[in-house]
Amino acid sequence: MPTDQSMPTRTSAGAPDEGLLPLRACVGMLVVNDRGQVWVGERRPKWAKGSPPIWQLPQGGLLPGEPPDAAALRELYEETGMRSVEILGGIADWVTYLLPEDLVGVALKGKYRGQKIKWFVLHFTGPDCEIDISARHGRKAEFDRWRWCDYEGFLERAPEHRRTLYETVGRALLPIASATPPRR
């Protein structure tokens, strides 16, 4: 899946021109347990020391030529240690969001103006002790802590610039999750 890897163009003020920065292609995972709760992770923004933590769903970039469903399983394992999952469905189209103006050129390593995400809903079938958010493969840990919660509670804690995105994801994927009986 090709992505635009061009260098950002700078405006006269020195800030990246958000219209010329590409969107980052990635996958997102809405993981549900047998109780219908969703897995959320808390992380501190890397771009702003002292900022409040951000609660988010797992997500990550696609490798060149990698199918989105394979990327979802890989990224979920890399970020959470979860392997006991089954993909229940997904959103056929890319779902996008743009960064707020003050984060363009800062967040997402300063390379992107936002993200286009292929979303999947997965059922976690393993025990909670399988979840391991510690660093692996020479990378920093993605999350500082995690929890299971209801989706509405998560939306209240989600970053404002992602709330509409997460509302769209929930509307599309939660019905799929609730229509699938537990398989333990």
Q: How many CB atoms lie within 10 A of CB 30?
A: 28
> Residue 3 domain-assigned?
no
pTM to 2 decimal places? 0.82
Residue 59 has φ and ψ, to the nearest 5°, of: -160, 160
Q: Which one, of 134, 22, 159, lies nearest residue 79 by Cα?
A: 134
Its domain, for residue 54, covers 23-178
pLDDT digits (tens, 9 = 90+) for 87-144: 999 999 999 888 888 777 767 777 888 889 999 999 999 999 999 999 877 888 889 9
For residue 105, give the CATH number of its domain: 3.90.79.10
> Residue 141 domain-assigned?
yes
pLDDT digits (tens, 9 = 90+) for 21-56: 888 899 999 999 999 999 999 986 655 566 677 899
Q: What total number of domains does the chain contain?
A: 1
> Residue 5 domain-assigned?
no
